[in-house]
Amino acid sequence: MFRRWADRLLLSRVQMLRIWLCLCLPLLLVLLVGCETGVYHTVKPGQTLYRISKTYDVSEASLVRANRINDPTKVRAGTRLFVPGADRVRSVTVVKPAQKATPVTKTIAAKVSSKKTTTAKKVVVKKPSAKISQPARSTDVKKLEWPLRGKIVRSFSSQAEAGRGKGIEIAVRSGTTVVAAEAGKVIYSGDGVNGYGHLIILQHENDLFTVYGFNQRNYVKQGDFVSKGEKVALSGTPPAGGSPRLHFEVRKGKQAVNPILYLP
C-alpha cells in the first residue's frame, strides 16, 4: 500500500513538471528572442553594406556577424539583413556601384617572389611607373582616418625609391597600433613583396585602396572585412633598416595619390 502511494506521488510530480514546462517554456522562448532587438532591412540595387551600416549607425562587422555574411562586398539586392539595435527601417542612399578594380592586385602578384625553389636566382621586379595624379583639395574627397599618429619623415613624391613605393612614411615607436583608414576588405596580407616587410592592402568603395607597410605583425588575413579604425597591425622597421616607421599609401585604382589630401 505504501508503494502505491509513492507511485501516485511520483506520477503527480511528473505531471506537474510537464504542465509547468508547457506553460513556461513559450514564455522563456519569447524572453530569449526578445533580448536582441532590431529590424530587417531589404537590400535594394546600388546599396552597399557600408552605406547601410552608416545609415543605421552600426558597424559593418556587427552586420556581418548578425547575418553570417561570408563576403561583405557581394551583398545582393533583395537580401533581408537583420540590423541589431535598430528601432525602425530607414531609407539608405543608393550609390552607383564602383567598377571592379584589379590593377593593384595584379601589380602585387607580379612582385611576389617565388619561394618554391631554393636554387632560383633572385629576380628584381621593377615596379611599373604610374602616372601620378594629385586630386585638388575639395570637400568631395573622401576623408580617411590616420592609420596612426606620428611625425612624417618622408613626404609623397613621384620620384619614388625602389622598394619604397609612392606614399608617406610616419615615424613612430616600434609596436605602435596601426588601424584601418577606412572600412574595407583585405586583398593582401603577407611579406612576399620585396621592400615592404609585412604588408597589408585594403580595398574600399569607389575604386580606392590603402597600403600599410613595414609592419612588425599583421593582425588580419586576406579576405577579412575590417571596419574604419579597427586594429590591423603593429608598426615595425623597414627591411632595409633605419628607424621604426609606417609606410602608408593611398591609391585611386592603379594611380598613387598624395595621402595628405585624404587625411583630416
Which among 72, 76, 47 has a CA at the least distance from the CA of 62?
A: 72
The pLDDT tens digits of the residues spanning 120-148 come to: 444 444 444 444 444 444 445 678 999 99
> According to the model, what pLDDT value does residue 225 have?
93
pLDDT for position 70: 81
pLDDT score of 113: 44
b (16+ CB within 10 A) / e for 149-169:
ebeeeeebeeebeebbbbbbb
Residue range(s) in the chain whose domain bears CATH number 3.10.350.10: 38-84
CATH architecture of 103-112+133-262: Distorted Sandwich (2.70)
| pLDDT for res 11 | 53
pLDDT at 184: 92
- Backbone angles phi and psi of 201, in degrees to 5: -125, 125
Residues of the chain with CATH 2.70.70.10: 103-112+133-262
pTM of the model as a whole? 0.54
Rounded to a whole number, what is the largest CA-CA distance in the chain?
103
- Rounded Cα distance between 93 and 99, Å, is 18
Q: Which CATH code for domain 38-84?
A: 3.10.350.10
Task: Tell me 120's DSSP state.
Answer: S
The helix (H) or strand (E) run that includes residue 61 is helix 60-67
The pLDDT value given to residue 98 = 42
SS3 66: helix
- Distance (Å, rounded) from C-alpha 150 to C-alpha 77? 42
Count of C-beta atoms within a 10 Å radius of residue 95: 13
Q: Which of 142, 34, 170, 45 is nearest to 97 (CA)?
A: 45
